[in-house]
Amino acid sequence: MIVTVLAFVIILSVLVIIHELGHFFVAKKLGIKVEEFGIGFPPRAFSKKFGETVYSINWLPVGGFVKLFGEDEAGGGKIGKQGTGNRGQGTGDEVERAYYARPLWQRMAVVTAGVIMNVVLAIVLISFLFATQGVPLPTDNIIVTEVAHSSPAEIAGLQKDDKILRINNREIKVASLFISETKKLKGQEVTLIVKRGDQQFTTKLTPRVNSPKNQGAMGVAISNIEVKKYSWIEAPFFGTIEAAKFSWIIASGLGTMITDFVLHGAKPQGVAGPIGVAQLTGEAVRAGWFAVLWFMALLSLNLAVLNILPIPALDGGRFFFMIIEMVTRKKVSPKYEAYAHGVGLVLLLGLMAVVTILDLTRLVQGKSIIP
């Protein structure tokens, strides 16, 4: 239990701090004054000022924030996860360094930097796993994972890791289709086209009408999951592709969930709040370091996708108001934008409460957080 809690705190803190570092570094690079960079949430435990920026460690250990000079003029609130900033007072050069006074493209860069950092972290983690251990991914291949002794498959020469491409010249890409075709052809000689490494060959066998217990007609165990491993040079390329694929899956899943909830009142399925994420963290820790890094990569992508949605109070909400400014060539009234962010924050807290209640209900019932 203690290990799970510690892992949960560490993983979530790393993800949020990486996100906030994106805002921090871009703001610094563009010459925007950063008043504070905080690890954790207040109350403050320790702080030290270096140059013009206060660096603080706070008592609530999950998360962090960046406080920019002059944020409130752009709609209020710290860039990041916590609290509200201050517009600050100043004249001349100091006012020019205020966030609200910077060109639109610079404000856009600061707001989106956190999301980009989360995506980059996911790419780095996935690329590392590709290069070191390999990543199990769903494919269009029917892969032999086990061959039973004295079975038709063994007699036909099939081996572990072979890929079955065709049965009687019919292309097979889904495990369920392979199973149904095999059942239809029991007692009949069939031709298999098989790929082993870079070589492709043809073999014949007859699926058994009566199979031994715990064996199929051919005597093979199959899977659509394949471990993909790449060189250190190739890994970043394929890591980026997989990050893009999973980001799309996350975004489309969120879209479907929201649509079903709005149109049909369906309860959110497969959504985890803090309790659910903690439980999943515990499962990842028990599975080993590979699972922890993979879980961390997916969680980082989830954080990126959620933050870029055009929801007030999130980075995507702030970016949305900037899009309006870009199109209309006129800033949205800070007062109305602040109202929108306030309403968005209330709705997000309400959603978090609902998801947490669902987590608790599933936990009490002994159900998995993710159905």
Write out the catalytic residue numbers: 20
- In sequence order, the 6+-apart residues with CB closer than 8 A to the CB of 14 are 296
Question: What ranges make up the beta strands (E) of 98-243?
Answer: 135-147, 163-167, 170-171, 190-196, 199-205, 220-228
CA 71 to chain centre: 29
- In sequence order, the 6+-apart residues with CB closer than 8 A to the CB of 307 are 19, 114, 115, 118, 314, 315, 316
| Phi and psi torsions of 170, nearest 5° | -100, 125
Q: Which token pair is 224?
A: 């659509």
| Phi and psi torsions of 206, nearest 5° | -120, 110
Q: Which residue has the tokens 């998995």?
A: 368
| Phi and psi torsions of 133, nearest 5° | -120, -20
Is the Cα torsion angle 248, 253, 256, 261 positive or negative in sign? negative
CA 120 to chain centre: 11
Q: Which residue has the tokens 């072979």?
A: 162
Q: Which token pair is 233?
A: 């040079």
Closest CA to 217 of 244, 246, 181, 191: 181
Identify whether the C-beta of residue 33 lies closer than 8 Å to the C-beta of residue 98: yes
CA 244 to chain centre: 10
Is the Cα torsion angle 158, 162, 164, 168 positive or negative in sign? negative
